[in-house]
Amino acid sequence: MRFLDANVILRYLTRDDEVKAKACYELFQRLQRGEEELATCEAIVAEVIYVLSSPRLPYRLSHEQIRARLLPVLTLRGLRLPQKRVCLEALDTYGSSPTLDFEDALAAAHMAQRGITEIVSYDRDFDRVAGVRRVEP
């Protein structure tokens, strides 16, 4: 098995280099057909989201747009992502919360999976996450 890096996902999603985008598309088609398997991790997903949402880069996509583009990639049949359900739940939360960053959505998803409802944090963004109660130390 091989590991999938963020730049391959980004080339596919942004199509900023048509030759690379086509090669990525073909790779993802093989993954979907089950002809190949790749592994990745939450850090790679977070990097893709950071690049696509950054106001300093050319993409500047909304949370909803990022969710819509990234979901089909993360659900490819041959893509192995530890805690995939948690990551997908975080992506859903992120997509519906324009002010929440992905890392906070991921933390909330991990909390939900473990049945944890309280987070010790100074980050007030958690105050807007359903099912999460923020407390300061």
Mean pLDDT of 66-94: 97
Furthest-apart CA atoms within the chain: distance in Å: 51
Global confidence as pTM? 0.93
* Tens of pLDDT, residues 20-40: 999 999 999 999 999 999 999
State both tokens at 112. Answer: 């939900």
- Mean pLDDT estimate for the chain: 96
How would residue 44 be classed by pLDDT, with cut points 50, 70 and 90? very high
pLDDT in the model for residue 85:
96
Whole-number Å distance between alpha carbons of 9 and 105 = 20
